[in-house]
């Protein structure tokens, strides 16, 4: 017996035997640490190992595969340290990210890195930012020192054998992945990305988000399949046309006058269409066992009772405004894209996309977007041209803005912007409005005021202060909705106003704590003054525009028609698969649905619905004055193509101190945001 133990110890000390064992043990430890950070709990990390051992071991396999690249270099110890360190950093980042947005860290977040720096002060305290910066610098410094200090493999590397090792590891990963997908251990696409990370682990889900983007080519994708879908749409359209006819009956609804003023615009048979996407808005009354000393959303609750409404299934919770926006505007299902993907940052960066804007242009509508936040956020200043918008008015084109205590614009500014857009065009208008006031991070040290609406209950006892802040911001947003509807009534044009929350706020709310819907649903309501029938229906965000167009009697494009005719199909899975085929064809395929060529192209997007212009420029004592129209606090003067310090005096006057102009100097006024990106510029004005 002693001899056998001695032999085992000798084998254990043998480097050839010991090294693989050490690698495996190290990978197990690294993956366990990553899961503990990712789940924000030591206990939950251990629980994952016990409940989902196959998924945990697959994560270990992925860590081992990345470690295998060390065989290709002389600095093996350094490489292994770096690889393990990066995995742990990923877990730590996920720990931080899930703390404030409730959706996990994915590879797609690297595309949003520039925005992370912009919003970091909102979600993190100065101390937390300092700690993160110090930790990052320390990690880099340690890696640099370790580069020089770590032992170096001095023997000649057999690159053929080393490559065989790496490829063998890759083959094992590939094979296990295929088996796991085929037997249902893993999923390629995630309907709920947060739950996917909890079920499959950080290593698998993050790797999937790294390698899986866009829409996978459907197995049955070909021209014949597209023809079958189009024929089915045409057949159902004919059947529906025989059964029903769309007729507008202007009637007195809950608060409307009997007669609707049509206004002076052409295309009188169609109303203005306004979509109002309300940041993080949901009805707090849906929380069980929570009591309030006032009504948080009096206007919206009244609207829910008297106008078409229902629950709206959205693609994210706590964050992801742009993806709800994408689903609504395009009618496409985000579940068909890669995990955590933002199409604004991927396919729409270079491709025009079917949308409600292009649909409505066929009916003479002008298409406008309004957002009381930075125009460059999610690259909207470039993406909106791919979606068919004519104008985009971001915060850089607004005056008289008020901000809440954590720095987001009050949504009340949007009323005047919407009315100005309606009055600025001769045609019917489509206006997609994105609010921001309800944005987090909600302050944990919020000082509750006597005038605040207050909440109490076991459900919210761990976050009473931030929740109180939130419900009072929501109350103000509700007041804005009331003000907007009043302005639209006064405007007198036939109008359909679609309002909905983009996602739930970033609180630890569970499905069990809600009396209606779930954490992936908000509510929508359709106020109108054209007498639309009150039909309540729970729908997906990607079905909303089609639903609205159906109510109005407007035929949309390929995607919209597909929803109109098939979203009530008995075989819902078949309906979703057909939608995926259309999406692939339009964005990545042969465009067979359009006969092989897109019928639309990106628009020449005008930033701001009111053009900014220079009328005159004059010198004064050691400064010069620019007279013009529609200047804002984000207007900057350029002299001979160089920025100069600019003083905003009014929407018609800018001052530049300490400089006088010379004959022939060129002057322009540029709109740029806090990130310094130029959004638009006036024509050059030559000083004489």
pLDDT reading at 265 higher than 90: no
Position 117 confidence tier, pLDDT thresholds 50, 70, 90: low
Average pLDDT on 252-261 reads 40
Query: Which residue ranges does the chain devote to CATH 3.40.720.10?
Result: 223-245+271-606
Among residues 520, 648, 593, 654, which one has the least CA distance to residue 228? 593
Mean per-residue pLDDT over the chain, rounded: 89
Average pLDDT on 156-185 reads 89
Secondary structure (3-state) at 101 = coil
pLDDT reading at 263 higher than 70: no
pLDDT of residue 511: 93
Bridge partners (DSSP) of residue 628 are 614
CATH code of domain 611-686: 2.60.40.10
Residue pair 328/503 in contact (Cβ under 8 Å)? The answer is no
pTM: 0.83
pLDDT in tens, 493-546: 999 999 999 999 989 899 999 999 999 999 999 999 999 999 899 999 999 999
Residue identified by tokens 């309906």 is: 575
Average pLDDT on 348-358 reads 94
CA torsion sign, 78 to 80 to 83 to 87? negative
Judge if the upstream peptide bond of residue 403 is cis by omega within 30 degrees of 0: no
Question: Angle at CA 119, nearest 5°, toward 113 and 120?
Answer: 85
pLDDT reading at 308 higher than 50: yes
Distance between alpha carbon 2 and the CA centroid of its chain, in Å?
65
Phi, psi of 280 (to 5 degrees): 55, 25
Average pLDDT on 336-361 reads 91
Question: b/e for 447-464, b at 16 or more Cβ within 10 A?
Answer: eeeeebbbbeeebbeebb
Average pLDDT on 397-408 reads 95
Judge if the upstream peptide bond of residue 441 is cis by omega within 30 degrees of 0: yes
pLDDT in tens, 415-473: 999 999 999 888 899 999 999 999 988 999 999 999 999 999 999 999 999 999 999 99
CATH code of domain 223-245+271-606: 3.40.720.10
Average pLDDT on 82-99 reads 89
Please give the Cα distance from 196 to 318 (Å, whole number): 16
pLDDT reading at 20 higher than 70: yes
pLDDT reading at 8 higher than 70: no
pLDDT reading at 112 higher than 70: no
CA torsion sign, 443 to 448 to 452 to 453? positive
Please give the Cα distance from 198 to 387 (Å, whole number): 34
Q: What is the DSSP string of 266-294?
A: S-TTS-EEEEEEETT---GGGBTT-EESS
pLDDT of residue 586: 96
Please give the Cα distance from 147 to 82 (Å, whole number): 10
* 281 or 269, greater pLDDT: 281
pLDDT of residue 109: 76
Burial group, residue 323, by CB count within 10 angstroms (0-12, 13-18, 19+) = buried
Please give the Cα distance from 683 to 586 (Å, whole number): 37
Position 123 confidence tier, pLDDT thresholds 50, 70, 90: low
Which range is least confidently modeled, 85-99, 424-438, 579-593, 645-659?
85-99
Please give the Cα distance from 588 to 76 (Å, whole number): 41
Please give the Cα distance from 383 to 345 (Å, whole number): 8
Residue pair 95/104 in contact (Cβ under 8 Å)? The answer is no
Tokens describing residue 523:
């509510």
Position 369 confidence tier, pLDDT thresholds 50, 70, 90: very high
Query: Which residue ranges does the chain devote to CATH 2.60.40.10?
Result: 611-686
pLDDT reading at 115 higher than 70: no
Please give the Cα distance from 340 to 332 (Å, whole number): 15
Burial group, residue 604, by CB count within 10 angstroms (0-12, 13-18, 19+) = exposed
H-helix or E-strand spanning residue 233: helix 223-243
Position 196 confidence tier, pLDDT thresholds 50, 70, 90: confident
* 254 or 549, greater pLDDT: 549
Residue identified by tokens 């742990």 is: 88
Burial group, residue 688, by CB count within 10 angstroms (0-12, 13-18, 19+) = exposed
Average pLDDT on 400-418 reads 96
Distance between alpha carbon 566 and the CA centroid of its chain, in Å?
27
Please give the Cα distance from 93 to 109 (Å, whole number): 11
pLDDT in tens, 185-195: 887 777 567 77
pLDDT of residue 241: 63
pLDDT reading at 327 higher than 90: yes
Burial group, residue 91, by CB count within 10 angstroms (0-12, 13-18, 19+) = buried
| Share in percent of the chain as helix, strand, coil (round to 5) | 50, 15, 40
pLDDT in tens, 570-598: 899 999 999 999 999 999 999 999 999 98
Greatest alpha-carbon span in the chain: 104
pLDDT reading at 246 higher than 50: no
User: Percent of the chain at pLDDT above 90?
Assistant: 67
* 410 or 155, greater pLDDT: 410
Which range is least confidently modeled, 211-220, 242-251, 387-396?
242-251
pLDDT reading at 606 higher than 80: yes
pLDDT of residue 266: 45
């Amino acid at each position: 017996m002693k001899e056998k133990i001695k032999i085992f110890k000798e084998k254990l000390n043998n480097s050839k035997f010991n090294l693989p064992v050490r690698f495996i043990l190290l990978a197990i430890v690294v993956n366990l640490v990553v899961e503990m950070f990712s789940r924000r709990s030591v206990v939950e990390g251990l629980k994952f190992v016990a409940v989902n051992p196959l998924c945990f071991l697959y994560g270990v396999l992925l860590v081992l595969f990345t470690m295998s690249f060390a065989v290709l270099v002389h600095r093996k110890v350094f490489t292994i340290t770096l690889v393990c360190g990066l995995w742990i950093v990923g877990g730590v980042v996920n720990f931080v990210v899930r703390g404030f947005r409730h959706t996990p860290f994915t590879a797609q977040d690297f595309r949003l890195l520039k925005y992370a720096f912009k919003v970091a002060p909102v979600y993190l305290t100065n101390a937390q930012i300092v700690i993160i910066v110090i930790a990052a610098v320390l990690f880099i410094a340690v890696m640099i020192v370790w580069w020089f200090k770590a032992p170096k493999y001095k023997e000649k590397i057999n690159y053929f054998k080393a490559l065989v090792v790496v490829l063998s590891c890759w083959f094992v990963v590939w094979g296990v992945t295929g088996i796991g997908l085929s037997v249902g251990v893993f999923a390629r696409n995630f309907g709920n990305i947060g739950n996917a990370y909890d079920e499959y682990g950080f290593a698998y889900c993050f790797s999937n988000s790294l390698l899986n983007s866009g829409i996978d080519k459907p197995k049955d994708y070909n021209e014949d399949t597209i023809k079958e879908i189009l024929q089915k749409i045409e057949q159902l359209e004919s059947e529906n046309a025989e059964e029903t006819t769309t007729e507008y009956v202007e009637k007195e609804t809950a608060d409307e006058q009997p007669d609707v003023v049509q206004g002076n615009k052409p295309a009188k048979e169609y109303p203005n269409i306004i979509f109002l996407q309300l940041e993080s808005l949901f009805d707090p009354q849906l929380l069980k066992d929570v009591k309030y000393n006032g009504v948080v959303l009096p206007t919206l609750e009244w609207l829910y009772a008297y106008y078409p409404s229902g629950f709206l299934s959205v693609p994210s919770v706590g964050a992801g405004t742009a993806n709800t926006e994408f689903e609504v505007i395009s009618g496409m299902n985000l579940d068909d894209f890669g995990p955590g993907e933002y199409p604004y940052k991927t396919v729409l960066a270079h491709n025009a996309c079917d949308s409600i804007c292009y649909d409505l242009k066929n009916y003479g509508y002008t298409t406008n977007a309004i957002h009381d936040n930075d125009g460059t956020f999610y690259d909207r200043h470039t993406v909106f041209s791919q979606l068919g918008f004519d104008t985009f008015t971001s915060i850089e084109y607004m005056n008289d803005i008020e901000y809440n205590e954590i720095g987001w614009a009050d949504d009340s500014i949007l009323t005047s912007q919407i009315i100005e857009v309606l009055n600025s065009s001769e045609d019917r208008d489509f206006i997609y409005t994105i609010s921001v006031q309800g944005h987090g991070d909600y302050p944990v040290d919020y000082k509750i005021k006597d005038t605040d609406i207050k909440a109490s209950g076991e459900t919210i006892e761990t976050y009473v202060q931030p929740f109180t802040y939130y419900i009072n911001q929501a109350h103000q947003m509700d007041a804005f909705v009331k003000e907007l509807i009043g302005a639209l009534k006064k405007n007198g044009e036939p109008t359909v106003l679609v309002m909905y929350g983009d996602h739930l706020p970033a609180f630890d709310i569970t499905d069990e704590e809600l009396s209606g819907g779930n954490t992936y649903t908000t509510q929508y309501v359709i106020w109108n003054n054209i007498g639309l029938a009150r039909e309540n229906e729970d729908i997906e965000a990607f079905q909303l525009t089609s639903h609205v167009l159906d109510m109005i009697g407007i035929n949309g494009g390929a995607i919209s028609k597909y929803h109109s005719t098939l979203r009530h199909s008995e075989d819902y899975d078949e309906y979703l698969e057909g939608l995926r085929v259309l999406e692939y064809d339009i964005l990545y395929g042969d465009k067979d649905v359009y006969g092989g060529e897109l019928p639309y192209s990106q628009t020449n997007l005008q930033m701001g619905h009111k053009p900014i212009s220079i009328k005159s420029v004059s010198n004064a004592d050691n400064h010069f004055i620019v007279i013009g129209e529609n200047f804002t606090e984000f207007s900057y003067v350029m002299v001979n193509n160089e920025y100069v310090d600019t003083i905003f005096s009014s929407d018609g006057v800018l001052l530049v101190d300490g400089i006088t102009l010379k004959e022939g100097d060129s002057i322009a006024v540029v709109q740029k945001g806090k990130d310094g990106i130029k959004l638009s510029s006036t024509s050059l004005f030559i000083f004489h």
